[in-house]
Homo-oligomer: A and B are copies of this chain.
Amino acid sequence: MTPPASEQILRDVRDDGTALDVVGIGNALVDVLSHEADDFVATHDLVKGAMTLIEPDRATQLYEAMGPGIEVSGGSAANTIAGVASFGGRAAYLGKVHDDQLGVVFAHDMRANGVVFRSPPATDGPPTGRCLIIVTPDAERTLNTYLGASAYFSPGDVDAELIELSRYTFLEGYLFDRPEAKAAYRTASEIAHGAGRKVALTLSDTFCVERHIDEWRPLVADQVDVLFANDAELRALYGIHLDHAVDRARDEVETTCVTLGPEGSLIVTSEGIVEVPPHPVEVVDTTGAGDLYAAGVLHGMAKGLPLAECGRLGSIAASAVIGHTGARPGQSLAQLA
């Protein structure tokens, strides 16, 4: 059941003939986070700072090795969408969970954020996906994802009404890791452009970029209106130095947002480069920093704000999650803004 808040958003949008701000599509995951010493990463052959896909046996083995955890709804695009809603934006999300306890938690948390989430849970197949996240003392997070039900999101799950209603369709690069989700990505992108809407993409992870580089270069050039990447991902995409990668993105993409960690970010368009300062915070756990940065920028763009202001919202949102454990904001971003 979609609760009243989400129902009300859709009714408002239909009634007043306006739009949703952003619909996100991604792997619907519940995060399991534990803080570990540095040697945990080496001992368990993890790729520090990256997202590695793992199979069920490996997930069980790694979970047994992890310390006591906390469970929080996650998923890259889902974190972004929760952030847009926390800013007061009208947001929706598409992704697949299983009809199990973690699936209930994921759906609850999306709807409790005020997000329209009506993707039906799977009643067969694997359980709800989860991401085992190791946070090391340097606040870096290392992601180990068992996709579970999320991998079965397919073109048939693409909710055309929500995409047509949304100013921006936001897609995560991680979708490219499974054929069905990749096909759904293309379907969603076509529906959005067919309705005169914009498509935004986050590159997600350097390894993810490298896994799909041949498909991504033409796709970014032809089908992406707003690109999110950190400096390493953008360099990986174009295989060149950051300055040249920024130049190339400027030629190929309407708006490119490049995050630079503690140095803030750049928003690049044909009209120039906006340098966005970071929002100061004591870093506890960087999980979700990029996701929430995208939330602030997309919320601002959907509201038609100047790019410098969009960037400021991105910095605020990122700082709100890196100051605590977990990738979802613990407070209203609208109030922080």
Contacts and interface: CB of A to CB of B under 8 A. Distances in A.
A112 B68 contact: yes
Number of copies: 2
Interface string A213-257: 000000000000000000000000000000000000000000000
B108 A64 contact: yes
Contact of A71 (B66, B70, B324): B70
A101 to B, nearest CB: 4
9 contacts: A32-B105, A64-B108, A67-B113, A68-B109, A68-B112, A68-B328, A69-B109, A70-B326, A101-B127
Q: Which of A64, A70, A113, A331 has the most CB of B within 10 A?
A: A70
A102 interface: yes
A127 B71 CA distance: 18
B73 A72 contact: no
A315 interface: no
B71 A71 contact: yes
Contacts of A330: 35, 325
A3 interface: yes
Nearest to A69: B109
A210 interface: no
A133 to B, nearest CB: 13
Interface range for A: 20 to 34
Contacts of A34: 112
A69 B82 CA distance: 12
A66 B35 CA distance: 27
A100 interface: yes
Interface in A29-45: 32, 34-35
A63 interface: yes
A78 to B, nearest CB: 11
Given A325-B330, A330-B325, A112 B70 contact: no
Nearest to A110: B68
Contacts of A63: 108
Interface in A1-44: 3, 32, 34-35
Given A68-B109, A324-B325, 7 more contacts: A34-B112, A35-B330, A35-B331, A67-B113, A69-B105, A100-B101, A101-B102
